[in-house]
Amino acid sequence: MESKLQELKTRLTEIDDLESAASLLHWDQTTYMPPGGASARARQMATLNRLAHEKFTDPAVGELLEALRDYEESLPHDSDEASLIRVTRHAYEKAAKVPPAFMAELHSHGSESYQVWTKARPDNDFGAVQPYLEKTLDLSRQFADFFPGYAQIADPLIDFPDEGMTVSIIRPLFATLREQLVPIVQAIADAPPVDDSCLHQTFPEAQQLAFGTDVIKRFGYDFERGRQDKTHHPFATKFSLGDVRITTRSREDDLSEALFSTMHEAGHGMYEQGICMDFEGTPLANGTSAGVHESQSRLWENIVGRSRGFWRFFYPKLQSTFPDQLRRVPMETFYRAINKVERSLIRTDADEVTYNLHVMLRFDLELDLLEGTLAVSELPDAWRERFQADFGIVPPDDRDGVLQDVHWYAGTIGGCFQGYTLGNILNAQFFETALNAHPEITSEIEAGEFGTLHGWLKENIYQHGSKYTAPELIERVTGGPLRIEPYIRYLRSKYGELYPL
Ligand code: ZN
């Protein structure tokens, strides 16, 4: 058994090497690559990803997993070895169900559709992408059908990014959240607008980036095992557990852009830097789901980074970094500005409160499309109607409506969006659990100290990587299932103090 397990690990490490090389090419593509590299780069990444997929779905991997079944069952469920075999088997079974020819079609359709979308969005031309989106919907349904026995057609699509989550779990959670959020957003819209002009002066980029770097070093992001570069759409990426990088972007006329994207991506990065080093090169060395990953980025960005306690410590430092711009701005004005809630059209620019409404709108439309109650041709109107119901405003065009997110135009319909809101719900639940265990976290944040919080996250969440599914992890960490109440409590208490709710 030892030799079979060793052989499995050797194969998995080779697959991880190919995937990591593809990730490095992608990182380079979005940071430093000259435009002339684009066409060869797309092909190079596709080759590496195809080789990795072929190696993983090799029947020899299935035979090894089969041979290791008794051994796995003789070990405790939460041992590293049993977890490696279990998690690998689960991924193998899912990957093996989808024929390689289908995956190739899905990918090539995705890149074609993406190309059309990059022109259709600025042209405000939904008609141009409609036939592509119809085919995407068709392929997404076919994809789901490789996993017969699902309760809802979106379930298999959700299970890839958020294993263990289903429509029947998510739908009632989101319905409760929407019921709470719509009146909060309405009350906020009726209140006098918050003046956030203090954020919109001129802030030189170098000082912005230096300030953000100082913050995330204090959080515990390890620059010996990571680095930060500039890009258009910030992300975090891992090439090994010793090299987990983040990216950011800045705007000289918007102080919040670089600062909060840096904190957000550092949250993703610290998660992966904190994974147990023994998992290197295996499928355990990743965050466990889209939702849990997003909970870690949002915890640092929002619960910590947009809190009053955090700024009690950091605001004087920010003022001395930008004395001309902020000397005369009281902390309370700044605090309200960075927590301004407004009804806006674009998901990625949305505040902490309205963000979830953007996500849930997309989640529900995805379900309607997959279930066949909504046709692609009706999607722009359905978008406008729902936007009106949730936000009280209507997007003036499709560019800032149904065409705004890349997700549907480059991948599948289904599974794309729920992780963002699951992350918001979860970050409050995790943070509340951490505070119950260590009430001193609050005063430490006010002193610019994050060791207890970072240590708790590492101990309870980071180190486990993908060893536990999200539902298993939530149960282990919080003693119960995913719960929405901590998040509602968090929103009501924070925004109830800022706005007359
Ligand atoms: Zn994120």
Determine the distance separating the centroid of ligand 1 and the alpha carbon of 454, expressed in angstroms: 18
Same domain for 335 and 257 = yes
Give me the DSSP letters along 477-490. Answer: HHSSS--SHHHHHH
If asked whether residues 96 and 171 sit together in one domain, one would say no
pTM: 0.95
Ligand 1 centroid from CA 244, angstroms: 14
Q: Is residue 156 part of a domain?
A: no
Which residue, of 59, 93, 120, is where some domain finishes? 120
**Are the C-beta atoms of 466 and 159 separated by less than 8 Å?**
no
Yes or no: say if 63 and 36 are a contact pair by the CB < 8 Å rule: no
**Residue 109 Cα to ligand 1 middle (Å):** 26
Question: For this structure, is 472 an active site residue?
Answer: no
The single residue of 265, 272, 294, 301 carrying the catalytic annotation is 265
C-alpha distances out from residue 370 to 141, 350, 373, 404, Å: 7, 26, 8, 20
Q: Which two tokens stand for residue 59?
A: 């029947």
Q: How far is the CA of 290 from the centre of ligand 1 (A)?
A: 9
Does residue 465 come out as left (phi exceeding 0), alpha (psi in the -120 to 50 range) or beta? left
**Amino acid 115: pLDDT:** 87
Is residue 133 domain-resident? Answer: no
**pLDDT in single tens digits along all 501 residues of the chain:** 789 999 999 999 999 999 999 999 999 999 999 989 988 998 899 899 899 999 999 999 999 999 999 999 999 999 999 999 999 999 999 999 999 889 889 988 988 898 899 999 999 999 999 999 999 999 999 999 999 999 999 999 999 999 999 999 999 999 999 998 988 888 888 899 999 999 999 999 999 999 999 999 999 999 999 999 999 889 999 999 999 999 999 999 999 999 999 999 999 999 999 999 999 999 999 999 999 999 999 999 999 999 999 999 999 999 999 999 999 999 999 999 999 999 999 998 899 999 999 999 999 999 999 999 999 999 999 999 999 999 999 999 999 999 999 999 998 999 999 999 999 999 999 999 999 999 999 999 999 999 999 999 999 999 999 999 999 999 999 999 999 999 999 999 999 999 888
Domain C-terminal end among 63, 97, 120: 120
Does residue 174 sit in the same domain as residue 111? no
Residues 60 and 193 in one domain: no
> What is the Å distance from ligand 1's center to 171 Cα?
22
Per-residue pLDDT at 61: 97
Residues 326 and 432 reside in one and the same domain:
yes
Count CA atoms closer than 13 A to 460's CA, side-chain side.
20
- Is the residue at 19 inside a domain? yes
Do 115 and 233 lie in one domain? The reply is: no
Strands 236-240 and 243-248: antiparallel
Residue 234 lies in a domain: yes
If you measure from the C-alpha of residue 267 to the centroid of ligand 1, how many angstroms do you get, rounded to a whole number?
A: 8
**CA–CA separation, 306 and 338 (whole Å):** 7
Number of domains making up the chain: 2
Q: Are residues 192 and 291 in the same domain?
A: yes
CATH number at residue 462: 1.10.1370.30
Instruction: Specify whether 109 is located in the same domain as 252.
Output: no
* Domain boundary, last residue among 81, 102, 120: 120
Partners of 120 in beta bridges:
none
Range of the domain at 36: 2-120
